[in-house]
A and B are shown apart, each in its own frame.
Chain A
Amino acid sequence: DIQMTQSPSSLSASVGDRVTITCRASQDISNFLNWYQQKPGKAPKVLIYDASNLETGVPSRFSGSGSGTHFTFTISSLQPEDIATYFCQQFHDLPYTFGQGTKLEIK
């Protein structure tokens, strides 16, 4: 199975800050990577697919980049409603494994 390693596991930032989360794959997955946001008690919601494509309706402050084994997810200006846990997911091979998540809090 492809292992996905996310960092950091938690992050505290202020409103307006630029926030970056990293995801590393244990092997080359090209751009077959998604980013999800999960708020407490809710199902995950896709924000970014194919490493850098913004899902329809998702604010443009969210972005993704990378290919191969190294990927980044960025919030350009943190908003209070962005408080959530963020997960990366590879879809290069089954099983479609997830990173362990990054819990984002407001400082």
Chain B
Amino acid sequence: QVQLVQSGAEVKKPGASVKVSCKASGYMFTSYYMHWVRQAPGQGLEWLGMIIPSGGSTNYAQQFQGRVTVTRDTSTSIVYMELSRLQSEDTAVYYCAREWGGAQVYFDHWGQGTLVTVSS
């Protein structure tokens, strides 16, 4: 069965970077796009960016341009999301989400979430 397993919770100081991993299993890794979505405490969902695992192409939300980098390792079926210059407002649960591979676009499988806390 499809599984997306994320790395564990992180605590970072302001100005630092964080790198969250998402290990995919149960399907052909290079055949499905992967997205990153975050959710601040008690807030809504915010799309950060995506990667096409087959070729490595990425697309990022404009407000995170220059701060977020999504990469993948096809040998291990892992997608990474790195966010730099962290501020307290970046405290959130970060999710990876697989995009359904059909004509429709929706996120059919999600990781369990990784809590990133930014605090001095």
Contacts and interface: CB of A to CB of B under 8 A. Distances in A.
B106 A97 contact: no
Interface string B96-115: 01001000111110111100
B59 A94 contact: yes
A68 to B, nearest CB: 18
Contact of B110 (A1, A43, A91): A43
Interface residues of B, number: 21
Interface residues of A, number: 23
Interface in A48-105: 49-50, 53, 55, 87, 89, 91, 94-101
B35 A96 contact: yes
A34 B110 contact: no
Contacts of B108: 46, 55
Given A43-B110, A43-B112, A44-B110, A100 B104 contact: no
Contacts of A43: 95, 97, 110-113
A95 B47 contact: yes
